[in-house]
Amino acid sequence: MRIAHITITIVIASVAATLAGCAPLLRTGCATGEEALIHDTLYFGTGKPRGGMVTPAEWSEFLKSAVTPRFPQGLTVSPASGQWRGADGAIVQEASQVLQLIHPDDDASENAVQVLVAVYKAQFEQEAVLRVKARTCVSF
């Protein structure tokens, strides 16, 4: 019985020591010189449901008229290839545009992102725009 108690104590101590080493990774604050912001990554499919694709000119105009006025401080766009399952169950593969935005965690920015998604879905008849939202620490 005494050996079992010692073994359990050693295991608990080992787990506690291991988790203590992870504490800096679990913190919610940012380091000195860093700012807490939101990192949004939006995935825009470019296939149109009635055929055709969102053209480079259409994408450029969307950036110019819908994105840049709401996020004039900057953004990053990357072309990608995506795959997703539609509401009808069909697997769709298509060219995509990935838009990354770093912005304050405030109502104005949240609303602006939601408007971008709604505008794109309506303008290009899209079923969905994938949004990945994460808190992050940044420095310049």
Q: Report which of residues 121 and 16 the model is more confident about.
A: 121
What is the overall mean pLDDT for the chain?
86
Q: What is the pLDDT at residue 84?
A: 85
Q: What is the pLDDT of residues 5-62, one digit of tens each?
A: 444 444 444 444 444 444 443 345 899 999 999 999 999 999 998 999 999 999 999 9
pLDDT higher than 50, residue 4: no
Annotated domain spans of the chain: 35-138
Q: Domain 35-138 belongs to what topology?
A: Alpha-Beta Plaits (3.30.70)
Q: Report which of residues 17 and 130 the model is more confident about.
A: 130
Q: What is the pLDDT at residue 28?
A: 59
Beta partners for 39? 102, 134
Q: What is the pLDDT at residue 117?
A: 98
| Contacts of 128 by beta carbon, 8 Å cutoff, 6+ apart | 45, 84, 121
Residue with tokens 């694709």: 53
pLDDT band at 1 (very low <50, low <70, confident <90, very high): low
Q: What is the pLDDT of residues 73-119, one digit of tens each?
A: 999 999 999 998 888 899 989 999 999 999 999 999 999 999 999 99
Query: What's at 132, amino acid-wise?
Result: V
The answer to whether 83 and 107 have CB atoms below 8 angstroms apart is no
The answer to whether 42 and 99 have CB atoms below 8 angstroms apart is yes
Q: Which two tokens stand for residue 33?
A: 């010189």
Report the 10 Å Cβ neighbour count for 47: 16
